[in-house]
Chain A
Amino acid sequence: MSNQHNDQELAVTAVPRRDPSQVMRLARIGSFHQTRLSFMRNLLRRLKSENWEFSKPVWRVDDIGVGVAVFLAKGPERTYSLVAFANDLDPGKRSDRVIAEEWDATFTLFDGVPTEEDIERLSKNVPLQEAGRISEKEISLSRANRSVRLFEYVRDCLAEGKQPDAEKLDAVGYLMRTTAVYGSAKFGAIDRFQIEDRPEFNAPFQAELLSVFMTRWFTIEIVEHLARVKGGDKFKPLDSAIKRRLGVGNSTGLGMAPFLMNHPALLNNWIMCREEALARVRSIETTNDVRVTKFKSVLTRSIADATKWNTTHEGQAVRVVEFQEDLQNLQNKIDGFDFSQSAPWDQFYRWSESNLTLEGQEFVVTLLIEPHGDLVDGLTECMAADEWRFFRIDGTVSLGAFKEFYDANYQWVSIADYSTKDATARFWYASEEKLEPRVGERHEEEGAEREHPLATGRDLAAMRTDLSSFRDDQKLAEFLLKHPEHRHVVRRVQINQVHPYSEVQDNLIDASMMPIDLLRCKLSFFGATKFDPRSDRWVRITMFQNAPYPNELDQGDFDDWVYPTLEGI
């Protein structure tokens, strides 16, 4: 969806979308929480409304937990299969890191139902992950490790016919955690452009998240399988209420950060839809009891859930405490709040801006959107983007017009003085060892000449300096012919002309830059919860925690699954 389209269709709200200069700062996007527009929630709404059917036709796992399993997801038009390879991993080899070479389980999402030949081929490649090859029949490639804290404990409880202790479960939140989920075209997988026309995969990351949703099912099956082997007759399966508390963990490093920078139109559409949803809610003149009740219920449940947000990261731990205070302030505000006044949600939002931390303010965005599914859920159809549509540079524009747009919209570039060491302290690169994105120290380490083009602020400033020696009546094409080194940022500026939220408006190579802010932003759109930074560039999260399992989708209304019910707490 182009931005022009957005403006025609969407710009009817009394309260405008928040300005990009307010939204697109690292500190704020690094405080985003999931919303009902998040991709996990969108996926489950679809699976439920279309009555997807799930089955497990293949389970060939031996007594030590080695083997293969196939899980099917059958939609209205197509069937997808999660092919899982279970492994008996030497504990010494268990690492969360992308640099590992062996895992407890490996997975691929197969397009259709695999034959025995397909399974045979995949068995020789999927367990190798990056060192193997998959084909255009496969959509994703991923792996997961068991939680050392929880997996064996749960297995042993079930083997003895007991249910695990809820508090212990909550302290971790998952039996297994994925360490990478690769999609589009990676390691030979099918390209996204070849499946994006399928309605089920049009919204971003639906295939990858379908694989994770089914991986969660696998984690239950494998722990119960091993408990059954160990306990024999004494074995009891996991109680369904307890099972709900378990999601799939994920450890995310820097791999995600360049993605946001390399997909400016996509980033814009994600943010713009979220901002549009907020603007629509803030523009409501009068509300009703149903919405207010829902709003209050979600807040109450979130207050309880926030007590289970564990992190050992110093900075985040402080933020979690502040967030809990924010939630209490919110509760107090609501208790005396007159929802019959005009534009109540906007009043509420305005109050949050001057009374809550960024973490709390952005959670208010989540809360405000929540009871308004009828107004905002359709926006999820606008969250995909075809980057190639906006790739071509228009070299026929005059430099006068180009400079005018730049000077009006890129003031953020001058927040840093790029001649200082601190402002250029970092550089983004890909490591030779694992071809994974890394952040290096420019003035201390080798390799800065190979840096990737993520130093947007510095590069934009350099472009602007060179522009000054050209006349306003000259064409952009003339500038680019003389300065091909500025081509990547010229493209960014032109993309920004129709995608106002395409730029993270901060210096991404500053000494104080926190890469986890970029990760948090992306993960919040996925629908992740329980952000637990392990450092400034690596974060652990939980996915699908409290979600229904595939066989529960037809039971009741689960749309607000992300906020656990109070009975469960």
Chain B
Amino acid sequence: MRVSIGEVQSTVLKATRGSYMSWGMAEEAGRAVAWLETRQLPASEAAAALVEENDSIPMARLSPVDPTASSIKGEGRLCPVLTGAALSDANPTSALEILAVAHPLLLVSFVAQIGEGQSKDFRVSWAEVEIVCGVNGLTVKGERSALLKKHASAVKIKYSSDKASAIEERQLRAEVNDNAWELLERYAHRTYVPASEASRLAGAGAGLTDND
């Protein structure tokens, strides 16, 4: 599916809301995925897997216990959006690691945001992936399969001495795997209210025709 970045943002917003996030947190998810997709990273696919895995789980069980710790962990596997948002709020200034986090790719935009705010670049790494991001842009080393890893036992985040390279041109479109897009739309659908005859007439505020 070839979609606009705005469609990515609004579909992920609704899908994460439909699955397990509050509106404010779902806004973070929509922005994070749109940010990554404009930089050619397959974040919609990660988001689709995430909403399925975490469906209806209370946010508290997916959040870090203490996002200011040097070794951040949760009760179980962390949600990368809840963790990324908590990290952004805490605004870390020293090296840290995040243990047992799902779909680590989705952490990256939050780290980049922290880097931009501090005018610094950060190095984010897990398994065979190494990403430098922040004020200078983004440099990605890693195969697609490694970027889309479902789970990382540890993600290391520290200031980078290498500068990230600026992205030349942002993507005009996102190419999203059809299955992933359908899944996101299915969860997004949960935010819609089915029509009744009464709501059809009253909800939008007028009769069915208005020929003038």
Residues of A in contact with B (beta carbons under 8 Å apart)? 91, 94-99, 135-136, 145, 147-149, 172, 177, 184-186, 188-194, 249, 251, 253-254, 388, 391-396, 429-433, 435-436, 438-441, 445-447, 450, 452-453, 475-477, 480-481, 484-491, 515, 534-538, 540
Contacts and interface: CB of A to CB of B under 8 A. Distances in A.
Given A97-B210, A481-B89, A534-B206, A431 B199 contact: yes
B138 to A, nearest CB: 16
Nearest to B194: A432
Contacts, number: 187
A97 B208 contact: yes
A241 to B, nearest CB: 24
A441 B203 CA distance: 9
B193 A429 contact: yes
Contacts of A145: 211
Contact of B203 (A148, A438, A485): A438
Contacts of B113: 392
Contact of A97 (B89, B196, B204): B204
B172 A136 contact: yes
B190 A445 contact: no
A392 to B, nearest CB: 6
A148 B198 CA distance: 27
B209 to A, nearest CB: 5
A224 to B, nearest CB: 21
Interface stretch (B1-9, B40-48, B129-137, B176-184): B1-9
Nearest to A392: B113
Given A96-B210, A136-B4, A480-B85, 17 more contacts: A91-B211, A99-B204, A147-B212, A148-B212, A392-B117, A431-B193, A431-B200, A431-B204, A432-B194, A435-B192, A450-B193, A453-B23, A453-B24, A475-B90, A487-B24, A534-B210, A540-B212
A249 B64 CA distance: 53
Contacts of A540: 212
A440 B205 contact: no
B27 interface: yes
Contacts of A185: 4-7, 10
A94 B209 contact: yes
B203 A484 contact: no
A515 B205 contact: yes
B165 interface: no
A-B pairs, top 10 by smallest CB distance, nearest first, are A185-B6, A487-B24, A395-B89, A537-B205, A447-B193, A438-B203, A488-B24, A477-B89, A96-B210, A432-B192
Interface in B157-175: 170, 172-173
Interface residues of B, number: 53
Given A191-B5, A253-B205, A477-B90, A484 B210 contact: no
B6 A538 contact: no
Contact of A438 (B2, B31, B59, B204): B204
A347 to B, nearest CB: 41
Nearest to A436: B204
Nearest to B10: A185
B203 A439 contact: yes
B50 to A, nearest CB: 16
B88 A395 contact: yes
Nearest to B172: A136
Interface in B48-76: 59, 63-64, 67-68
A488 B22 contact: yes
Contacts of A254: 203-205
Contacts of A431: 192-193, 195, 199-200, 203-204
Contact of B210 (A192, A251, A388, A432): A251
A71 B5 CA distance: 28
Given A185-B4, A534-B206, A488 B23 contact: yes
Interface string B1-21: 011111100100000000001
B101 interface: no
8 contacts: A186-B7, A192-B6, A254-B203, A450-B190, A452-B23, A484-B85, A534-B205, A538-B205
B25 interface: yes
Contacts of A394: 91
Contacts of B10: 185
B190 A191 contact: no
Interface string B64-103: 1001100000000000001001101111000000000000
Contact of A450 (B63, B191, B196, B212): B191
A433 B198 CA distance: 13
Nearest to A177: B212
B212 to A, nearest CB: 6
Contacts of B67: 477, 481
Nearest to A388: B31
B172 A538 contact: no
Contacts of A395: 88-91
B204 A191 contact: no
A426 to B, nearest CB: 10
A393 B196 contact: no
Contacts of B2: 135, 188
A488 B30 CA distance: 13
A215 B159 CA distance: 54
B141 interface: no
B150 interface: no
B7 A393 contact: no
Given A184-B6, A536-B205, A172 B212 contact: yes
A538 B31 contact: no
Contacts of A249: 212
A175 to B, nearest CB: 11
Nearest to B211: A148
Nearest to A535: B205
Nearest to B65: A481
B193 A440 contact: yes
A95 B209 contact: yes
A535 B22 CA distance: 33
B191 A485 contact: no
Contacts of A190: 4, 172
Given A189-B4, A536-B205, A484 B212 contact: no
Given A393-B88, A433-B200, A191 B6 contact: yes
Contacts of A477: 67-68, 86, 89-91
Max chain B Cβ within 10 angstroms of own Cβ: one of A185, A193, A475: A185
A145 B31 CA distance: 36
A257 B77 CA distance: 39
A212 B2 CA distance: 27
A221 B172 CA distance: 35
Contacts of B4: 136, 185-186, 188-191
B196 A445 contact: yes
Contacts of A537: 204-206
Contacts of B21: 484
A447 B194 CA distance: 8
A97 B211 CA distance: 10
B47 to A, nearest CB: 17
A149 B211 CA distance: 8
Nearest to B4: A185
